[in-house]
């Protein structure tokens, strides 16, 4: 068994790497710019980052998030794409330059064109607006910002013509940038005149080594550093741990309750198949299973949390337990407040688990060795709980392996209704706010728990059924 466990752990490594790659690819292709998201929250909601944060602030935040590194250990591209394109800060500008280089086949000429636009923009930013130039200055800046993200020749020509019209209106300030604008036009003409259509067909591999975004993200995750939340710039680690203790605590107690209640019910249902009690129990459990948990949660709050009925439990959002209260008071009050959420968390599992247990028991009690045990005169309890029970647990163990991720994911609905700051609520809020570091940390933890649950299930298989030997299967 130990040899099998070691082998499975080694198999987990490439599996986790594959999951991390998929998660990383989704992350880099997710909509929105994390740098602009963070800067917009720092500057104030509803305001444009481009007008509030200068380029140095953008570059500084990009460096802090590690986004100024190449994406992966290497890239496979063509000779029109340089190995330094990742250094361009803005994503839309970077993509536009890549398009230009691919279309015209010469990165040096495209780089010269980009530098000319940059220098032209810098001179525009130096100019102080006044009553004589403000309108034309704003028009020029707007045209330049659009020029950065256009690679079609006719659109570029239209923008240059518009800029030429603005620059030709002579004012003391705008005359200073006419020379720089001429450099932009010359660089654009140079791209067209020196077009090379064959460069894009020449494959090139760029090697970046370990200093890349994926490597840093994976290594930091293994160290417990999950990045920075885009919502409030807090480290993701404390956010995850604070929420996880709630969700894992409630989920663990719920799983134990569900199994300790459902397994005996399933066994009794199989033994007493067709009896009136079995039919009533099964029907009642499936009626509960069909009721949505948010409706049950709402009814429990209405009937047992004050109002016109009973005030047995504190309502959601009630005053928290005082921090200076004794330890045992914290424990007892915490468990007391979790009774209603635990009911909502647990009741839906009872019907499904008991049904699986019933099916597994029915398959076992009809086998020859059970009939032999009964023929020997063994009591019904011995036959059921000693001989039949262990072998009927295999379907339930398989189900148990799939329950492990629930320890982390929790229930969004229940946590929202009962105001529980668990992982379900945190993950939902992160998705709504496009807070991808929190979402991806949750995804990786769910993958780890899934793999761990599979390993635990395999170990339990061998424990309950000695006929199962993983060592022989893997030899």
Q: 65: closest CA among 437, 442, 428?
A: 437
Bridge partners for 305 per DSSP: 311
| 3-class secondary-structure state, position 204 | strand
pLDDT of residue 162: 85
CA distances from 129 to 132, 141, 162, 174, 286 (A): 8, 12, 19, 10, 73
- The angle formed by the CA atoms of residues 180, 185 and 190, to the nearest 5 degrees, is 120
Terminal-residue alpha carbon distance, the chain: 12
| 3-class secondary-structure state, position 305 | strand
pLDDT of residue 45: 47
- For helices 236-271 and 423-432, what crossing angle results, to 10°? 130
pLDDT of residue 276: 86
Q: Where do the structural domains in the chain lie, given as residue ranges?
A: 74-207, 236-474
pLDDT of residue 46: 42
Residue 79 exposure: Cα atoms within 13 Å on the Cβ side: 10
pLDDT of residue 467: 63
What is the spatial distance between Cα 197 and Cα 336, in angstroms, rounded to a whole number? 73
pLDDT of residue 111: 93
Cα 380 from chain centre: 51
pLDDT of residue 466: 63
Tell me the pLDDT of the chain (475 aa) as tens digits.
677 778 778 888 888 889 889 988 888 888 778 888 888 777 654 444 444 346 788 888 888 888 889 999 999 999 898 888 888 988 889 999 999 999 998 899 999 999 999 988 888 888 777 777 788 888 888 888 899 999 998 999 998 888 887 776 555 455 556 778 888 999 999 999 998 888 888 999 999 999 999 999 989 988 888 888 888 888 998 988 888 888 888 888 888 888 899 899 988 888 888 888 888 888 888 888 888 888 888 888 888 887 678 888 888 877 677 777 777 777 777 778 888 888 888 888 888 888 888 888 888 887 888 888 888 888 888 888 888 888 888 888 877 777 766 666 667 888 888 888 888 888 888 888 888 888 888 888 888 888 888 888 778 777 776 666 655 544 3
Which residue in this structure is represented by tokens 């020379």?
179
Region 236-474: CATH code: 1.10.3720.10
What is the spatial distance between Cα 326 and Cα 338, in angstroms, rounded to a whole number? 18
SS (H, E, C) 78-112: ECCCCCCHHHCCCHHHHHHHHHHHHHHCCHHHHHH
What is the spatial distance between Cα 8 and Cα 77, in angstroms, rounded to a whole number? 36
pLDDT of residue 5: 77
Q: 242: closest CA among 256, 230, 229, 255?
A: 229
Copy the structure tokens of residue 148.
Answer: 């950065």
CA distances from 411 to 250, 296, 406 (A): 10, 14, 8
Residue 312 φ/ψ, nearest 5 degrees: -80, -25
pLDDT of residue 113: 94
pLDDT of residue 214: 93
Bridge partners for 203 per DSSP: 78
CA distances from 9 to 2, 16, 451 (A): 11, 11, 9
What is the spatial distance between Cα 281 and Cα 271, in angstroms, rounded to a whole number? 13
pLDDT of residue 474: 43
Q: Is 84 exposed, middle or buried (0-12, 13-18, 19+ CB in 10 A)?
A: exposed
Cα 248 from chain centre: 18
Helix H or strand E segment including 239: helix 236-271
| 3-class secondary-structure state, position 233 | coil
pLDDT of residue 465: 67
Q: Is 18 exposed, middle or buried (0-12, 13-18, 19+ CB in 10 A)?
A: exposed
Torsion sign across C-alpha atoms 104, 105, 106, 107: positive
Residue 362 φ/ψ, nearest 5 degrees: -65, -35
Q: How many residues does the chain have?
A: 475
Q: 48: closest CA among 148, 156, 145?
A: 145
């Amino acid at each position: 068994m130990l040899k099998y466990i070691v082998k499975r752990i080694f198999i987990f490594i490439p599996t986790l790497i594959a999951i991390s790659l998929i998660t990383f690819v989704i992350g880099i292709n997710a909509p929105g710019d994390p740098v602009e998201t963070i800067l917009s929250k720092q500057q104030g909601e509803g305001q444009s980052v481009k007008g509030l944060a200068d380029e140095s602030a953008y570059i500084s935040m990009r460096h802090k998030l590690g986004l100024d590194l190449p994406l992966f250990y290497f890239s496979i591209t063509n000779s029109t794409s340089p190995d330094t394109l990742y250094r361009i800060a803005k994503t839309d500008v970077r993509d536009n330059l890549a398009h230009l280089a691919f279309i015209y086949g010469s990165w040096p000429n495209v780089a010269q064109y980009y530098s000319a636009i940059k220098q032209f923009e810098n001179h525009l930013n130096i100019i102080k607006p006044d009553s004589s130039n403000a309108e034309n200055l704003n028009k020029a800046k707007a045209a330049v910002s659009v020029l950065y993200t256009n690679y079609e020749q006719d659109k570029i020509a239209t923008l240059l013509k518009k800029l030429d019209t603005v620059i030709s209106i002579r004012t003391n300030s705008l005359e200073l940038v006419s020379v720089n604008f001429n450099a932009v036009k010359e660089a654009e003409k140079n791209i067209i005149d020196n077009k090379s259509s064959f460069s894009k067909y020449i494959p090139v591999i760029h090697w970046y080594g370990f200093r890349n975004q994926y490597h840093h993200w994976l290594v930091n995750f293994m160290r417990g550093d999950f990045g920075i939340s885009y919502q409030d710039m807090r480290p993701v680690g404390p956010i995850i741990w604070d929420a996880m203790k709630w969700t894992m605590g409630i989920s663990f107690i719920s799983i134990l309750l569900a199994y300790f209640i459902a397994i005996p019910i399933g066994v009794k249902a199989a033994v007493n198949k067709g009896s009136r009690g079995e039919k009533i129990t099964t029907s009642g459990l499936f009626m509960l299973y069909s009721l949505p948990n948010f409706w049950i949660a709402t009814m429990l709050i209405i009937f047992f949390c004050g109002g016109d009925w009973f005030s047995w439990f504190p309502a959601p959002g009630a005053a928290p337990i005082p921090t200076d209260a004794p330890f045992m008071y914290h424990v007892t009050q915490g468990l007391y407040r979790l009774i209603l959420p635990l009911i909502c968390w647990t009741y839906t599992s009872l019907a499904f688990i008991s049904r699986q247990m019933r099916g597994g028991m029915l398959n076992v009690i009809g086998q020859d060795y059970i009939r032999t045990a009964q023929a020997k005169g063994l009591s019904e309890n011995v036959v059921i709980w000693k001989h039949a029970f262990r072998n009927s647990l295999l379907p339930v163990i398989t189900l148990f392996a799939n329950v492990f991720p629930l320890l982390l994911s929790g229930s969004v609905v229940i946590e929202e209704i009962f105001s529980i700051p668990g992982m379900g609520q945190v993950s939902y809020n992160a998705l709504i706010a496009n807070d991808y570091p929190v979402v991806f940390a949750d995804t990786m933890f769910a993958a780890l728990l899934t793999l761990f649950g599979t390993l635990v299930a395999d170990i339990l298989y061998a424990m309950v059924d000695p006929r199962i030997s993983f060592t022989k299967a893997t030899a």
